[in-house]
Homo-oligomer: A and B are copies of this chain.
């Protein structure tokens, strides 16, 4: 029987044990395997962070080299999947393309149903290496551009920018993107990760869990938020008016201003700190400070007016735009990073599995309602 208290949205409800991510929402702390996100953002790489998420500790120099090599070796996508991407209708969004391609990828996996740790780890390497290829390939296909092969000499972050733009990225761009990947790599039981764990909890396979995670990330309340932030900045720029007036009028109409507040953090989202700095730095280096300055003014206004802090999505919008990344790639890029955390969580779930099956508090017509034959209705 269901207990009487309903916690809508499971807010504050503990769904399982997990040793991957530590969040202290009151102190504004985010840590992967105990290591503060600030230290990782300043000193680590996406490859090392992924090792940490999957293995629970930092690698030795040799372990990291082997790990990175394995990730480079896994940069392979069956040619049928590229055919699939080419066959999609041209208005298909990159998230639909990614979700469908990842679902199809299981058909080419040598042990699709296997959910033991070693099989899951192999699939985690494959998917983490394949995500940037799929995202870059679909973007080039829809633009009628030739695909760019992965470059094994480039890091995970730099290789993505290379495959996307067909130009070797400058170091500042690669490093900025690398940090963005580190910051988004995991966030405990966020909705997409939780969806992945619910799916994996039925002993379904890794590709199923990750397909469901992409499906959840696609929602505007989750991965879609930074896209919504950038749409607002574009609308303000087009409108030509003052950013603060624009946001004030949004608030007056009781509309949501995306990029502020967070279910878990009661203080500043620690990821926002780095994204603000990166957005500022990049905007100065590129000579285009427009988006950063607009963002800064909106942040100050919303903080004063609504006591809401900027979250991870707010400054990633201007950062990605300054990196030359299209609006509708923001969420796919979130997935390119979060796949590290999703796979870590699926492995953790399946290493000590329990079906995730909550109850509902029934609010419908009181049982028993009689079945009235149709002639008597």
Contact = CB atoms under 8 A, between A and B. Distances in A.
Contacts of A301: none
Contact of A64 (B17, B89, B374): B374
Given A31-B369, A218-B202, A112 B89 contact: no
Contact of A2 (B5, B14, B20, B362): B14
Interface string A127-161: 00000000000000000000000000000000000
A172 interface: no
Contacts of A209: 215
Interface stretch (A219-227, A239-247, A286-294, A302-310): A219-227
Nearest to A208: B215
Contacts of A43: 371, 373
Contacts of A8: 16-17, 354
Contacts of A355: 9, 191, 221-222, 263
A63 to B, nearest CB: 9
A246 to B, nearest CB: 23
A10 B354 CA distance: 9
A212 interface: yes
Contact of A219 (B202, B221, B362): B202
A6 interface: yes
Nearest to A106: B96
Interface residues of A, number: 116
A335 interface: no
Interface string A337-372: 000000000000000001111111111111111111
A327 interface: no
Contact of A198 (B7, B64, B216, B364): B216
Interface stretch (A54-62, A267-275, A315-323): A54-62
A190 to B, nearest CB: 6
Contacts of A67: none
B15 A367 contact: no
Contacts of A119: none
Contact of A12 (B99, B107, B203, B359): B359
Contacts of A201: 9, 191, 216, 219, 221
Given A14-B358, A357-B10, A359-B15, A218 B205 contact: yes
A246 B125 CA distance: 40
Interface string A242-267: 00000000000000000000011000
A242 B80 CA distance: 47
A36 B106 CA distance: 40
A34 interface: yes
Interface of A: 1-22, 24-26, 29, 31, 33-36, 39-40, 43-44, 48, 56-61, 64, 80, 83-84, 87-89, 91-93, 96, 99-100, 103-104, 106-108, 112, 188-192, 194-195, 198-205, 208-209, 211-212, 214-224, 263-264, 354-375, 377
19 contacts: A6-B15, A6-B16, A17-B362, A18-B363, A22-B367, A34-B369, A35-B368, A60-B374, A83-B87, A96-B104, A103-B103, A188-B360, A191-B199, A192-B202, A195-B212, A201-B219, A204-B222, A208-B219, A212-B216
User: Top 5 closest A-B pairs, CB basis?
Assistant: A202-B219, A19-B364, A34-B369, A204-B219, A212-B212
